[in-house]
Structure 1
Amino acid sequence: MSPYIYGRKNAVHIIDIRETVRGLLRAKKYLAQVASGGSLILFVGTKRQAGSIIEREASRAGMPFVSERWLGGALTNFRTIRSRMSRLEELEKIRESDGLAQYSKKMQSALNREYRKMYRNLNGLRNMNRMPECLVIVDPNKEKNSLREAKALGISTVALIDTDCDPELVDLPIPGNDDGIRSIDLIVKNLADAVIAGTKSIEAVKGKDSDKKGKPAAAASSAEAEKK
């Protein structure tokens, strides 16, 4: 982390804010490119300070997230995770249709516990119908398992890293405070904004394509009208 450290005061390392800005700009540019290609970006942050921020910003960007607990094999055993998602949807249908009434109280309690646990761990992965191209991680030290799976599959990583992290483990590190709520909120919000901008560029291109297709048809109709 030495290239990213400005100095030291009272035995505490101070991160160079210029390096934080550089890392953030690089990450935003990359995420916008990934999103503009229609690929998924998985947001990961399970520490107490990051969970609610990760959920809010990933949802705003329309991307999957893990904010409670990383399930082993979420990437490397993706098919199994998808099958668990089917079970979650099955439990939801039972609850919505008042199907629980046909079970004993003991069974109802067991099904409710199963639902709450699965919802907590899987809800953020509902729209991950394919493998992500990139992971956005808050604190790689905390999210070692997700980082390990991403590396094994060749999935790129963007991460907010503090002075106790190894930047070599991440493709695009953003040096900064990964414990402070305000710091996490600022960085993750900016990254989500970049994803949204990239996604909107797809919609803009689709709009132009539809306009181009419509113009020849309109021109043909106009030509026929003139002949008449």
Structure 2
Amino acid sequence: MMADIVKELIESGVHFGHRASRWNPKMAPYIYARKNQVHIVDIRETVRGLLRAKKYLKQVAEGGSLILFVGTKRQASGIVEREALRAGMSFITERWLGGTLTNFRTIRDRLTRLEELEALRSSDDINSYSKKMQSSLNREYRKMYRNLNGIRNMNRLPECVVVVDPNKERNAIREATKMGIATIALTDTDCDPDIVDLPIPGNDDGLRSIEAIISHLADAVIEGKTGQPVDREAVIAARIAAQTAAAEQAAEETAALAAAEAAAAPIVVAEEAPAEEAPAEEAPATGAAVASTAACAAAC
């Protein structure tokens, strides 16, 4: 099993760090070497950190406590949302709202407001408002849904916060630390591991690296909740199938768009092609020009 984990992590590129010029010296114990001016993370430290984090998350899930997954950077948002949903936990992938943990009562009030707006939009009562007011309410709803939908079921503070890139999610870690909430983070070579309780040294920019680490952590949560081991091969197979289906759908959409553009091109050309200009007629010779020509002919 250990060999399988190491193989998966290496194939996912977890060991690729940042350029050496960007490193944080506190990450020195987790760095194996430097190659082509890029730091290579010690995969043994990655496995050690991952196993510690999985053990802790499993214990937290067994006790029925909540876990919050946070990943607002572009590379991480989709993966974090998918894996958090698979584990049945809350997530934040858009923007960390100040006070999410330290002022949780206000956040709960905003969630109540979100539910009110949803109820209003699903009923006919919204038609009693003016068009301008409806537009304002819809904007408010979209903004609140985008920022709060992932934590709408978080009815109490979490026991642990899992983040991708502690540099990016520094506010989340700061609030969690202030509230005595444990933190786990995928920590690259440019980060400070001391601000996190359980750092997992590794590449926090690569899609495959983030996916490998976060899916392992989600597996630990599921195992803690169900008491049953997760079939890792089935998880990977399902992920590959989903990626293949998404790629095929994207290819079909691209082909359909290209075909539509190709079909519309002749029509556009026909409509927009400028009319050919008729050749200009020669202007009739004036009397002076005729006389000049005759004089020239006589002289010759």
Same fold (TM over 0.5): yes
Shift of residue 21, structure 1, vs aligned partner = 1.0
Deviations 1:175-223 (A, max 9, x none): 1110111110111011001001001139xxxxxxxxxxxxxxxxxxxxx
Gap regions ≥5 residues in structure 2: 1-26, 229-300
Give the Cα separation in 1 of the matches to 2:123 and 2:97. 29
Deviates more, 1:40-49 or 1:11-20: 11-20
1:81 pairs, out of 102, 107, 128, with 107
After TM superposition, where is structure 1 displaced by more than 4 Å over at least 4 residues in a row?
none
Matched, 1:137 2:163: yes
Shift of residue 16, structure 1, vs aligned partner = 1.0
The residue number in structure 2 matching 1:147 is 173
Matched, 1:2 2:28: yes
Deviations 1:22-51 (A, max 9, x none): 111111011000100110000011000111
1:123 pairs, out of 136, 149, 153, with 149
Give the Cα separation in 2 of the matches to 1:167 and 1:9. 22
2:210 pairs, out of 184, 188, 206, with 184
The residue number in structure 2 matching 1:12 is 38
Give the Cα separation in 2 of the matches to 1:86 and 1:150. 23
- Following superposition of structure 1 onto structure 2, how do residues 6-45 of structure 1 map, counting pairs within 5 Å? 6-45=32-71
2:45 partner amino acid: E
Q: Secondary structure at the match of 1:99?
A: helix
Gap regions ≥5 residues in structure 1: 203-228
1:165 pairs, out of 160, 166, 191, with 191
The residue number in structure 2 matching 1:205 is none
Asked which structure has the greater RCO (Cα within 8 Å, sep 6+), the reply is 1
Give the Cα separation in 2 of the matches to 1:171 and 1:90. 38
Deviations 1:133-187 (A, max 9, x none): 1000100000011000011011100100000011111111001110111110111
Give the Cα separation in 2 of the matches to 1:102 and 1:201. 51
Q: Secondary structure at the match of 2:141?
A: helix
Q: Secondary structure at the match of 2:69?
A: strand
Give the Cα separation in 2 of the matches to 1:92 and 1:20. 43
Shift of residue 125, structure 1, vs aligned partner = 0.6
The residue number in structure 1 matching 2:88 is 62
The residue number in structure 1 matching 2:220 is 194
2:194 partner amino acid: E
Q: Secondary structure at the match of 2:199?
A: strand
TM-score w.r.t. structure 2 length?
0.66
Q: Number of residues paired by the alignment?
A: 202
The residue number in structure 2 matching 1:95 is 121
The residue number in structure 2 matching 1:212 is none
2:169 partner amino acid: E
Shift of residue 89, structure 1, vs aligned partner = 0.2
Q: Secondary structure at the match of 2:154?
A: coil
Give the Cα separation in 2 of the matches to 1:74 and 1:98. 32
1:146 partner amino acid: A
TM-score w.r.t. structure 1 length?
0.87
If you compute each CA radius of gyration, which structure gives the higher value, 1 or 2? 2
2:78 pairs, out of 52, 62, 73, with 52
Shift of residue 17, structure 1, vs aligned partner = 1.2
Give the Cα separation in 2 of the matches to 1:66 and 1:99. 31
Between the two proteins, what is the percent identity of the paired residues? Answer: 75
